[in-house]
Amino acid sequence: MINSIWQKETRQPPFCELKGDLKTDVLIIGAGIAGVLCAYFLEREGVDYALVEAGEVCCGITKNTTAKITWQHSLIYGKLIRQFGTEKAHLYYKANEEAVISYRKLCENISCDFEEKDAFVYSLDRRDKLEEELSALDKIGAKADFRESIELPFDIAGAIRFKNQAQFNPLKFISTICKSLKIYQNTKVLEYNGEFFKTNGGRIYAKKAIVATHFPIFNKHGSYFLKLYQHRSYVIAYKNTERINGMYLDENEKGFSFREYNDMLIIGGGSHRTGKKGGNWKEISDFANKYYPTATEVCRWATQDCMTLDGVPYIGEYSNNTNDLYVATGFNKWGMTSSMVAARLLFDLVLERNNQYTELFSPSRSILRPQLLINAFESTLNLITPTTPRCPHLGCALKWNKYERSWDCPCHGSRFSEKGQLIDNPATDDLKR
């Protein structure tokens, strides 16, 4: 089994399985960092809630993050201005800046290796793209500056620096804040009929519910099977490399990301749509052999991200037809910061408070984006492909991933082990052989 560096260092406290029925004001489904933060804020407010997790706390995507806390989300702000206008691009920046500040305050009294770092997005050959992004940042009042060079061992066309961002150990952080929370693990939500949530141990009756399961698990509402696709990325941690004092990201989707943790350099890359071919760990190791010839590999892992049609997460009402059901998904590779944004927004929504970010992140906003056609094409193609095995989610043909020895769905990103055991959702069941 491939474990991240965070798993090697931290274990989560144990929680009981829910046996029997339960009544609560707010149900949270999914104990990744988004769900845990939702529970944490409700706990502090004295709200009656319960957080249920099909496996163990942070057994899904959270454990595989590179754990950057930043409002630097590659070259996104120019794109947001073009899609939504300057005002909404500014709101996106403010929501994520507030998330960074919230983490900073929370981590003051938590031992989780929280460190303030400058974040850089660089380009190997497109200085013009960086200059355009700087102009967009200036329009929304976000402070950033241009750098001709950085401390990485290769030439660049330039970089944008974002000061006072952060990085941490996410599992240390979660293991501290979740200790006093009302969590039930090994409690799988099987279905929702509008009246109650059926679990493997009984029924849960809730006035309001939040679905924080990475990819939403209820297919009948919200059309998330069209609005989302999933992307895999690969990570290797190395010792014996030159030290760096920042967090770095190539603006090119096929480029690399970098951060340090203790005496290790963490390099991410090799990304591709789930179920497709990509560079995987080989791309990273080839790069490290060239630029860090003395490096020694410590561990390697992979992660998976839900991607939206327009680059903005879906946070808010699950659909127009589901009262008091909410969702947080589509974090577009920025799960740490977006989870805090989601927790603060959903906290206000379930308590029926106004929040200035509701419209920006609404899951019911327009889906008329070019990515919609790509998602529809992939789904259609793999639905008519006459192969086995097939994904139990919506019946797409699965593809064999020889590098991770898994069956992967190119439609919506479900993954299964060689023996058919479920690894990643939106599927909720193992393969039937």
Nearest to 9 by CA among 116, 113, 114, 117: 113
Strand arrangement of the beta sheet that strand 422-424 belongs to: 399-401, 406-408, 415-417, 422-424
Q: pLDDT value at position 1?
A: 45
Low-confidence ranges of the chain (pLDDT < 50): 1
User: Is 37 exposed, middle or buried, given 0-12, 13-18 or 19+ CB atoms closer than 10 A?
Assistant: buried
Q: pLDDT value at position 388?
A: 76
Q: pLDDT value at position 185?
A: 96
For 216-241, write each residue's pLDDT tens digit.
999 889 999 999 999 999 999 999 99
Nearest to 374 by CA among 252, 276, 255: 276
For the record, the structure tokens of 87 come out as 């005002």
H or E segment to which residue 75 belongs: none
Planar angle of CA 210, 214, 216, nearest 5 degrees: 60
Q: pLDDT value at position 387?
A: 78
User: What is the dihedral angle through the alpha carbons of 182, 55, 112, 312, rounded to the nearest 10 degrees?
Assistant: -90
Q: Please, which residues have CB within 8 angstroms of residue 193's CB and are 6 or more apart in sequence?
A: none
Is there a contact between 430 and 417 (Cβ–Cβ < 8 Å)? no
Instruction: Sketch out the chain's domains with CATH numbers.
Output: 5-65+172-226+310-361 (3.50.50.60), 370-424 (2.102.10.10)
Count of alpha carbons within 13 angstroms of residue 423, beta-carbon side: 21
Q: pLDDT value at position 433?
A: 66
Chain centroid offset of residue 348 CA? 21
